[in-house]
Structure 1
């Protein structure tokens, strides 16, 4: 059985920089037509010059694959002139609460301080992407942030606000309260719960932020994805860390899913008799919501077993993917495109 996906998009991706970028970027550009690339480098990607430079490094790392990086800038207090320069360079601006996740120490400390920039973004049509967690008890952080989303959606009704990597049933319900709210959801949050991470032996390669939640949360996410909710999109939040940073005290947060994302999603949607909804989830919803026209690219998946490698290595880096060493029922075939010249 062959499944064709047209111009699939990853609406939330971490590519890192340097040697790690060289290793992982081709694993996304091989199977996606484009991706929304996160800006939380060190230092963060926070102005027009940094956006353009990072985009150039990404394209070099992709080796000529047909792949469009939809760039983002790290949220800070911008002037109108700075936002005007960014408007044609970025897909959106990513807001991190200070210290909420990897390399977010320079994020927003008080939402009130961000309102002037958000007001300008609303007028310029620049989407706001949000890592929606407080600093409360780890299982409650997303739920506690939902009132902030409500306030933002009401205060800025013409601003498209994307709730990134949602993990709870409550966030799914909130999606239906406001037309200007959208959301991404990851592969891991459609598959696992906290029990998979820490219910037995600790599995560091499944640890991420936001942390996986309860079975009823996973079921709500899965139901929304399988039903074709028009404002729910796939965003892998694939977040590579070197193996020594994952298998260590102070385990780094992030699950690396880029190489298996589409085959594993195909298996999941087939399991629930919903393969006809996968195209919308990985491309159609995002294109309709944001008016995107991604590069033409046909990605073919085959219902043939794939052994997930134990690790991906190169450029002095070693990264362990989700489901390492496991067999999954779908495989990525050669994509229907030629290299750019």
Structure 2
């Protein structure tokens, strides 16, 4: 009999759904297997007020095709008033800070951390989590490492502010988890598997290019070990980021790896390879529920050790998106959802 594992309410704590036709294509691909996801707000224009947040959530729910799925909404960080935060608090899971220009659609982000301290103070007092894209504008391999000083500063100055280091990619960031009580982190599927060599060591693979970029083997190893051991402050966040084919296979390749449809099966394969399947539940849901205090819809997702071929692309609504592992055979697949 094939090996099986039933997961309870898997969660994706960092997800891009875009908008319009792309949202209609990719939302069901997450909502089918995941019980909930933290939705990124970097649309054009950004989701930076309560009306936009509620309207975006409605569009997401309308695209779920009947699947049990909770979108945990975020606001794009800006200079909010206390009243704005009070009005929005019960409708969001946190506020996402982007350094200006650090990644896709982040031009309206923060230019100086110390200039927005009043907002951090209000968030701390109101118990609103801060989610951070942690990169500087330095040399591309060092951007996350350079930003760690900002995490030290924020965690120390605002000790009751819950801070999530999003999509960490370095061994140094893993070490940060144990340095401050109010820090936690998400990590993607791709950063547990690939290094920069997979992206650009031979012919450039645009479908593995993302920001933060994949790093060195020793960084991947540190991330993988923390995930496999289900470090209590580390959560799965796919950072699944769909782009149309013409935006990926082009000059000026868009940053983002699309993993939503295969993430659960690929994680099962990875954890099985290292004989750590017993820890996958905590990494995929338990830690997130503890760290954020969320209660997702009840959903049982059974994965089975049976072959599954990843489609070459996902198409619909005049969109064409290539996933990670396109055309490859995985060892595990989702076999049942209840």
TM more than 0.5: yes
Among 59, 67, 75, the residue aligned to 1:57 = 59
* CA drift at 1:167: 0.1
Structure-2 separation of matches of 1:201 and 1:256: 19
Partner of 1:339: none
Query: What's the C-alpha RMSD, in Å, of the aligned pairs?
Result: 0.5
Which whole-Å CA distance do the structure 2 matches of 1:332 and 1:252 have between them? 29
Deviation at 1:302, TM superposition (A): 1.3
Unaligned runs of 5+ in 1: 337-341
Q: SS in structure 2 opposite 1:333?
A: strand
Match of 1:105 in 2: 107
- Name the count of aligned residue pairs: 336
Structure 2 counterpart SS, 1:138: coil
Matched position secondary structure for 2:73: strand
What aligned pairs does 1:314-333 form with structure 2 within 5 A after superposition?
314-333=316-335
In structure 2, the partner of 1:219 is 221
Residues 9-158 of structure 1 mapped to structure 2, 5 A cutoff: 9-158=11-160
Q: How does 1:102-251 map to 2 (within 5 A)?
A: 102-251=104-253
Q: Deviations over 1:118-163 (max 9, x none)?
A: 1000011100000000000000000000000000000000000000
Q: Deviations over 1:79-114 (max 9, x none)?
A: 000000110010000000000000000000111122
**What residue is the counterpart of 2:301 in the other structure?**
299
Instruction: Please give the alpha-carbon distance, in whole angstroms, between the structure 1 residues aligned to 2:288 and 2:261.
Output: 21
Aligned-pair CA distance for 1:256: 0.1
Moved over 3 A (4+): none
Instruction: For residue 289 of structure 2, give the secondary structure of its aligned residue in structure 1.
Output: helix
Distance 1:212 1:37 in 2: 22
Distance (Å, rounded) in 1 between the aligned partners of 2:335 and 2:36: 18
Whole-angstrom CA distance in 1 between matches of 2:103 and 2:136: 11
**Aligned partners of 1:218, 1:48: CA distance in 2, in Å?**
38
Distance between the aligned counterparts of 1:263 and 1:64, measured in 2? Answer: 22
